[in-house]
Structure 1
Amino acid sequence: MVPLATTEGTLVASINRGLKAIYASGGAISVLHKDAMTRAPIVRFGSAVRATQLMLFVEDPLNFDTLAAVFNRSSRFAKLQKIQCQIAGRNLYIRFACSTGDAMGMNMISKGVQYVLEYLQNDFPDMEVIGISGNFCSDKKAAAVNWIQGRGKSVVCEAIIKEEVVRKVLKTNMDSLAGLNVNKNLIGSAMAGTVGGFNAHASNIVSALFIATGQDPAQNVESSHCITQIESAQNGKAIYIAVSMPCIEVGTIGGGTQLASQSACLNLLGVKGANRESPGANARQLARIVAGAVLAGEVSLLAAIDTDQLMTSHMKYNRSSRDVIQLASTE
């Protein structure tokens, strides 16, 4: 079961059909290959020379263990993984990446960054901190740095769907479905100049799941970065479908996860709260669930478009003959 908070009835029906197709073909497999929240403060010096000196110091592998020790003192769960810099004139943007346990981790990483900045000012007293976030993070914005390097959880979810299932459940054929994916999700998105938008409607599913499970809805922007692939498989007897999502930003503790309804949805999924035996495991599992739901939504919507059922489905499931306002006023 996948909890969704949405006013779009067709979305629920579509994901249900996609899940049915995947289940009937043996299920899906997901892999989480990166787990690191990021924060990038902006600091300024009197000259580009001094900014470069700090950049070289921060990125020197010989200094990483010292900086990591300072950063990691800020939390039991915060573990610094990487520091990357970009310079613009006398401004330096320092992108910190760290694991954050089962929390989404924005507050956690910001605290660790503050510790490091205070430490660096001992050796660089002329460093001026302009802001704890310099938009090189990049939070709640479509950004190439997130699309390429990832932010939060990076997940790939894949499935093999049999030809019979494509025909009977999705009501289309494999060649047509794969062709539509190329022409719409890949070429069409390239024509639009998208960043991370090589998909049919990943944000639909991400938003509905985020609201249902108490995530930050605004982080749907980068969490919906996704590329959908559909290819022939098993000598033409099935299709291979995959979604690659490098920026799923989720947590199972803190924030909206503590609300009653959202907490119940997390409990339904078996990922409520912190995993005490394996810190971070619950949040990672939630990210995999998000990717799996997106996989189902992608294959179903593409099938609906391919068979010209998109409009009729919306008319059927998104319209009601009942006057909800009038019903509410009479109860």
Structure 2
Amino acid sequence: MSEAARVEPLDGLDTIIDKFRALLASAESNQDDWKEQALALLDRSISETRQDSHKPIFTLAEDDSDETNSESAPEAVVEGKARPSAMSEVRPTLERTIDELESDWNKGVQLLPGDVLRLLNRGKAKSRELEARLPDYETAVAVRRAFVAPLDKLAKLPYTDYDYKFVTNACCENVVGYVPVPVGVAGPLKINNGTPLHVPMATTEGALVASTNRGCTAIMKSGGVSAHVYAEGMTRAPVVQFDRATEAVRLKQWLDKPENFAKIKGEFDGSSRFAKLDRLEMRLDGRQAHLRFTGKTGDAMGMNMISKATSQAMKFIQSSFPTMKVVALSGNSCTDKKAAAINWILGRGRSVVADCVLPASVVRSVLKTTPRAMAEAGRAKLDSGSAAAGAIGGANAHAANIVAAIFIATGQDAAQVVSSSMCATRLEETEDGSLYASVTLPCMECGTVGGGTVLPAQRACLEMLGVAGPSPSSCAPGTNAATLAEIIASTVLAGELSLMAALCTDDLVSSHLKLNRSRLNLYENASGAASQPTVQLLHPQNTIRGKSAERTIKVNCSSIL
């Protein structure tokens, strides 16, 4: 190392010390933010010194550091307003006092991102205000990221190049970025003799898309799948309370009269163009009563719509029962986002069934097993095993896998997978030796408008399926959402067929070792040394060996591909 190179860091340190002496000499005793200024100065000075000390001794081309320096780079402009470059770091500024910044902030004056960060750090501004107060959404996200965590902690969480106008006041709050999830496709899959579709699935579980794709192949070779929505109705169930059970009984008798139901329906339906009340049931529990409203919601999944309509209907009921207390608009007998027998029995959202018949030749050539073996596995696992477990809506192999993957890809409410994946799968050998397969999902809570369906990527997946947005005017309201439910059920059937076949042929473990087990050396072992196993396939030409191998795993290539 040259003498100049050794002295340079010391020169930088001397400069920092000189700046501190000047700052302390000018600080007044009543200046309450001098410590903050000192820390910010130290942070900035050290960063500048590090940048200077890491300049290359030579370059392969002319020195263009002035052109690439983030401080001299032109500011990005969004909707006519300047903002810092998306890749720049938001740091506190020192030019003004906290009192001055707080005063301007409260007056609605536009502040620099670094000034807003200082206010956040001092508790003078709220994180939730950023989108409304800063010039654009991306700047708001950048400031919040700098506030909630060290920049290096969020470095791999992307936040740029995203249209946040679809997120704000619609999908998420206090946004600091977005999580990319891989999207694969399974198909083609022909449903109800329509045009074959490729179904988008967002997942991080290796082998899921490949397995579902194999099921689609088996269905296509068998002529396709039939799928039908046979019932529809989103629910909301308030719980009310009276002084005595006698009054609760009187409410039940009043609700049972057709003329009163008609009045309630008028209030309910008047809350929205698409809300249509179908039925109203009531269950007593002492002096408490649970009212369960069930209605259609067009192409929306409908929770917001049904809640608004129910609230309006309850106000009308209270006008006839002034002593009735509404304890909660949702009393848990709806039931939303919880496994419940009432949903399994009565249904919620859209109830859908899908089935197909697979010739024995297709079962043998694609699924590598026989209809008899599939039917036997179905009785043992789906019927006996589910009964032994006391499962509610769990008589299936892995319906939740497919429902969750399509829900995430198409912008559905992921939490509703808990009930939307309730599924009964049937596998039966027919008289001619074919395989009859069906899935019944009575609680498919999905929609093609509202919620996450407005996000561009999720909408693209819906457009891929031909069901984005509201139904065409030539169709009945809710047609798109019903079609989506049928697509999901059909894809669930494909996934069920492939997994049950893999269980029959004992390919489950080998397929997951091949497709659901990262070979990247991501972690260290207990001693701190990196460890990466050797993975050896049965086919010698496909052998993969790690440089620091400690063990060898033999993997059968699954027949799911």
Aligned counterpart, 1:237: 433
Q: Matches of 1:171 and 1:12 in 2, distance apart? A: 18
Tell me the alpha carbon deviations over residues 58-115 of structure 1, each in whole angstroms, 9 at most, x when there is no partner. 2333322111111100000000001011110111000000000000000000111111
Q: Aligned Cα RMSD in Å?
A: 1.1
Contiguous gaps of at least 5 residues in structure 2? 1-197, 524-561
Distance 1:276 1:324 in 2: 49
Q: Deviations over 1:215-261 (max 9, x none)?
A: 0000000001100011122x233111000100000010111001111
Provide the residue aligned with 2:492 in structure 1: 294
Report the 3-state secondary structure (helix = DSSP H, G, I; strand = E; otherwise coil) of the residue aligned with 1:197. Answer: coil
- Give the 5 Å matches for 1:107-186: 107-186=304-383
Alpha carbons 1:39, 1:138 under 8 Å: kept: yes
Q: Give the distance between the partners of 2:301 and 2:522, measured in 1 at CA.
A: 37
Residue among 87, 100, 105 paired with 2:302: 105
CA shift for structure 1 position 8: 1.1
Q: Give the aligned partner of residue 220 of structure 1.
A: 417
Give the Å deviation of 1:324. Answer: 7.8
Residue 95 of structure 1 aligns to a residue whose secondary structure is strand
SS of the residue corresponding to residue 225 of structure 1 reads coil
Matched residue type, 2:444: I
How many residue pairs end up in the alignment?
Answer: 324
Question: Residue 319 of structure 1: CA displacement?
Answer: 2.3
Distance in 2 between residues matched to 1:147 and 1:60, nearest whole Å: 28
Q: Which amino acid aligns with 1:245?
A: L
Please state if 1:304 is matched with 2:494. Answer: no
- Work out whether 1:18 is the aligned partner of 2:232: no
Looking at secondary structure, tell me which structure has more helix per residue.
Answer: 1
- Structure 2 partner of 1:68: 265
Tell me the distance in 2 between the aligned counterparts of 1:59 and 1:205. 41
Q: In structure 1, how many angstroms separate the alpha carbons of the residues matched to 2:342 and 2:216?
A: 31
Cα shift at 1:323: 5.3
Alpha-carbon distance in structure 1 between the residues aligned to 2:301 and 2:442: 15
Contact 1:59 1:85 (C-alpha < 8 Å) held by counterparts: no
Structure 1 unaligned spans of 5+: 326-331
Higher relative contact order, structure no. (Cα contacts within 8 Å, ≥ 6 residues apart): 1
**2:199 match: secondary structure:** coil
Q: Do the aligned residues in 2 keep the contact of 1:3 with 1:265 (CA within 8 Å)?
A: yes
Answer yes or no: is 1:6 the counterpart of 2:203: yes
Amino acid at match of 2:470: A
Name the counterpart of 1:49.
246
Distance between the aligned counterparts of 1:304 and 1:77, measured in 2? 44
Alpha-carbon distance, 1:151 to partner: 0.1
Q: Distance in 2 between matches of 1:230 and 1:253?
A: 34
Distance in 1 between the 2:234 and 2:285 partners?
Answer: 23
Letter in 2 for 1:263: R
Cα distance in structure 2, aligned partners of 1:266 and 1:97: 26
Question: In structure 1, what is the equivalent of residue 471 of structure 2?
Answer: 275
SS in 1 for 2:318: helix
Distance in 1 separating the partners of 2:238 and 2:255: 13
TM-score by length of 2: 0.57
- In 2, Cα distance between the equivalents of 1:60 and 1:218? 37
SS of aligned partner of 2:202: coil
In the alignment, residue 310 of structure 1 is paired with which amino acid?
L
Residue 39 of structure 1 corresponds to which residue in structure 2? 236
Which of 222, 238, 249 is residue 445 of structure 2 equivalent to? 249
State the alpha-carbon separation in 1 of the partners of residues 311 and 255 from structure 2.
15
- 1:322, distance to aligned residue in structure 2 (A): 4.2
**Number of the residue aligned with 2:289:** 92
**Aligned-partner Cα distance in 2 for 1:143–1:282:** 27
Q: Partner residue of 2:42?
A: none
* Partner Cα distance (2:353, 2:521) in 1: 42
Q: Deviations over 1:25-75 (max 9, x none)?
A: 000001111010000000100011101111221233332211111110000
Between 316-325 and 127-136, the greater mean CA deviation after superposition:
316-325
Q: Is 2:390 the partner of 1:193?
A: yes
Aligned partners of 1:305 and 1:236: how far apart in 2?
24
CA distance in 2, matches of 1:55, 1:185: 40
Matched to 2:478, the amino acid is: G
* Paired position in structure 2 for 1:285: 483
Distance 1:107 1:59 in 2: 26
Task: Please say if residues 159 and 240 of structure 1, whose CA atoms lie closer than 8 Å, have aligned partners that are also in contact.
Answer: yes
Point out the more displaced range, 159-168 or 236-245: 236-245
Correspondence for 1:204: 401
Quick check: 1:318 aligned with 2:516? yes
Distance across 1 between alignment mates of 2:377 and 2:505 = 11
SS of equivalent residue, structure 1 residue 199:
coil
Q: Which has the larger radius of gyration?
A: 2
Of the three residues 444, 456, 472, the one matched with 1:260 is: 456
Q: Distance in 1 between matches of 2:422 and 2:466?
A: 25
Matched, 1:27 2:224: yes
**Which amino acid in 2 is paired with 1:254?**
G
Please name the residue that 1:329 is paired with.
none
Q: Distance in 1 between matches of 2:397 and 2:255?
A: 40
The answer as to whether partners of 1:155 and 1:245 remain within 8 angstroms in 2 is: yes
Q: TM-score, normalised by structure 1?
A: 0.96
Find the residue that maps to 1:4 and give its secondary structure: strand
Deviation (angstroms), 1:197: 0.5
